[in-house]
Structure 1
Amino acid sequence: MLDNHQKNIATFIHLSTFSRFIIPFGNFIGPLILWISNKDKSEFIDHHGKQALNFQISILLYAIIIGTITIPLFVFKILGGLDFMEFNGFHDFHINIGKPSPLLYIGGGLGVIMILAFIVELALIIRASLKARNGDLYNYPLTINFLK
């Protein structure tokens, strides 16, 4: 039988991921501290702590992958408009973005996907915290289980 203390700890594990807006890497530090200090007290807390950390690690991994694909596309587009052989100072410095290339569309599309993924991430964290508050187990979708 779960008591309110266990439900509250599990809920705060999920909500502590929002501390990243105040503290760098707070989305890892907050849940990690709460999980480590309470994981031996309850299987319920242990499950939610692992899920929250696995989800945050997975989101970081996905963001790194999409970022490594997106950033070079923008850089290639910007550097493609520069002529380095005739660079005579900043008075002749021009970047031609009059003709959008497919690279720009692909990079912009991936950027939009990252924004949508951020909104979905926030919604999933709120949903997980509500499930924990109600005493239900929750598994985040598309999560790689680093902690088992």
Structure 2
Amino acid sequence: MPNKYTELEKLRELYSKGEITEEEFNLEKEKILKGEMTGDNKNFHKRVQNSDNRTFNSLMHISQLSNFLFPFLGIIIPIVMWSTRKEEDKSVDRNGKIILNWNISVFIYMSILVFILILMILGLGGLAIFSGMNLDSTAFGGFDVDSPAFVLKILGTFAIVIIPMIIFGLLDFIFTIVGAIKAGNGEIWNYPLSIRFFKTK
């Protein structure tokens, strides 16, 4: 059971957010200080716990942004956070699974794009260079390798893979922010394009 100081701190937080009135604040403060645990007080403690879990869920979503600081950190932190509280609260468990579903999905999508990119690099001259072949004007469909048209062709080909990678990076950032906001409001929101490996309902 949390001590009085922790309870008072949570009470002040609810009051500062406007979730309880001044009258409720003073009444619950008195009950906490007296150590009373009435039926109403238990309901209030449940409200405090729900607010705490919403904050935790929001932080769990936000922690994915640490991926932009260090690779895989944005996967490790949410998993650790989820595993510490998933048995205590259903909302924590569901939000953790939503995050896992999204991260696994992004990994699969990116792996496919990287594989395609590697094939394109090998197909656009890598094999010719490694095998010692001379590149002439017929090596790439009649394009002169020094011409602007050839450069545009290469850039256009790579853009087919690079642009989706950039889009997934932006979606990762946007979905993380939206997920954090919705989790803070107590909503369960599955990221679009996310494959449901774990059931969230």
TM-score range, shorter chain: 0.7 to 0.9
Structure whose alpha-carbon radius of gyration is higher: 2
Structure 2 unpaired stretches of 5+: 1-46, 135-144
Q: 2:132 matched to which residue of 1?
A: 84
Question: In the alignment, which residue of structure 2 is the partner of 1:136?
Answer: 187
TM-score (norm 2): 0.62
Q: Structure 2 residue aligned with 1:49, among 93, 96, 111?
A: 96
**TM-score under structure 1 normalisation?**
0.82
Which residues of 2 match residues 1-148 of structure 1 at below 5 A? 3-79=50-126, 82=129, 84-85=132-133, 96=145, 98=147, 99-100=150-151, 105-148=156-199
Q: Which moved more, 1:137-146 or 1:124-133?
A: 137-146
Counterpart amino acid of 2:82? W
Offset, 1:112: 1.0
1:112–1:45 distance in 2 versus 1, CA, 3 Å = same
**Residue identity (%):** 27
Runs of 4+ in 1 over 3 A off after TM superposition: 80-83, 100-104
Distance 1:112 1:97 in 2: 25
* Equivalent position SS for 1:142: coil
- Point out where structure 1 has 5 or more consecutive residues left out of the alignment: 87-95
Structure having greater relative contact order (Cα 8 Å, sep ≥ 6)? 1
Q: Quick one: structure 1 residues 13 and 97, their matched pair in 2 at CA, closer, same or farther if it must change by over 3 Å?
A: farther
Instruction: Quote the RMSD (CA, aligned, Å).
Output: 2.5
